[in-house]
Structures are given as structure tokens and as C-alpha cells.
Amino acid sequence: EKYLSENAYLNYSMYVIMDRALPFIGDGLKPVQRRIVYAMSELGLNASAKFKKSARTVGDVLGKYHPHGDIACYVAMVLMAQPFSYRYPLVDGQGNWGAPDDPKSFAAMRYTESRLSKYSELLLSELGQGTADWVPNFDGTLQEPKMLPARLPNILL
């Protein structure tokens, strides 16, 4: 019985590392990052769109694609908006998104606004052209891309 529980724990640990903690080589994104970018594109938040409250994006991500903690989702979004965390930020943020000397000093999601950066649009530009595999979301009511058809090697940038 001890062997079974150890094996189950090891299997779960490997699943978490491989499926959630490491970026996927195809598009360079972790699942939560991919879901944030995709949800923002579904909300019409492209680089030329009007900014929208970050809480709206986080709510869509949680409700439709990623039923985990709202703070963890927002922190992932914050990192994608910080130019000192990403060489090419995926999210264009308005408001307090932290500072290089204190990256965790960002404002709550109800105070910040966001939209996709121009760089993100390179990850999404070929999405509707049959270039991505689609999988059901967590409750089977929607489809989400398994990976984004990145035109650039995002994992290297």
C-alpha cells in the first residue's frame, strides 16, 4: 500500500510539473498563460482595443478555462504585463503593475486594466486557420486551443 501511495504521489507530481509548471515547447506558454491570452482575445482585447478591467479577464479565465485560484491567475497576468519580467510582455497593462525594485507591489485586479500587447497578436494571428488543435475545457462546454500557433519561438524570447 505504501508503494501505491508513493507511486500515485510521484505520478501526480510529474503531471503538475509537466502539464502546469513548465512552458509547452510549441508556444512557450504555461496553461494559465495560454488561457489568459486566449480569453483576452475572445474578449476582443487586442492591442488597439480599449483597456478593460483585469478582474473581467481573470473572471473569464476562471469561469471558462482555468478553475483555479483567482490570485494565482492574476499574478500570472501581472508577470505577463511587467516589462521587467518578460522581454516582450504579452499583456499591455494600465495602472500599477509593480516596479522593478518591488515586482509584487502591483495593485489589485479591480484597479488595473489590460489588453493584449502587439507581440501577443503574433501568437494568435493564425489561430482560426486550422493551425491549432482544440480540446474541451474543464467542464466540456467550450473548446480551447491546446497550444497557440506562435509565429515566433516564444520560449526562446
Cβ atoms of 95 and 113 closer than 8 Å: yes
Does 10 fall in a domain?
Answer: no
Does 101 fall in a domain?
Answer: yes
Backbone φ, ψ for residue 5 (5° rounding) = -70, -40
pLDDT score, position 84: 96
Annotated active-site residue 12? The verdict is no
Does 74 fall in a domain?
Answer: yes
Rounded to the nearest 10 degrees, the angle between the axes of helix 54-64 and helix 70-81 is 130
**How far apart are alpha carbons 127 and 34 in whole angstroms?**
12
What residue ranges in the chain does DSSP mark as E strands?
52-53, 91-94, 113-116, 134-136, 143-145
- Domain extent for 128: 27-147
pLDDT score, position 6: 82
- The per-residue pLDDT string of the chain (157 residues; one tens digit each, 9 = 90 and over) reads 777 788 887 887 877 777 677 888 889 999 999 999 999 999 999 999 999 999 999 999 999 998 889 999 999 999 999 999 999 999 999 999 999 999 999 999 999 999 999 999 999 999 989 999 999 999 999 999 999 998 887 888 7
Q: Which amino acid appears at position 55 of this protein? A: A
SS3 for 94-127 is ECCCCECCECCCCCCCCCCEEEECHHHHHHHCCH
What are the angstrom distances between the C-alpha of 56 and each of 87, 112, 157?
A: 25, 10, 28
Look up the CATH number of the domain holding residue 68: 3.90.199.10
Does 87 fall in a domain?
Answer: yes
Provide the grid cell at 121. 497578436
The total number of structural domains that make up the chain = 1
Does 106 fall in a domain?
Answer: yes
**How far apart are alpha carbons 54 and 98 in whole angstroms?**
14
Backbone φ, ψ for residue 115 (5° rounding) = -155, 170
Beta carbons within 8 Å of 27's beta carbon, 6+ residues apart: 34, 123, 147, 148, 149, 150, 154, 155
From the list 15, 88, 111, 119, the catalytic residue is 111
Does 53 fall in a domain?
Answer: yes
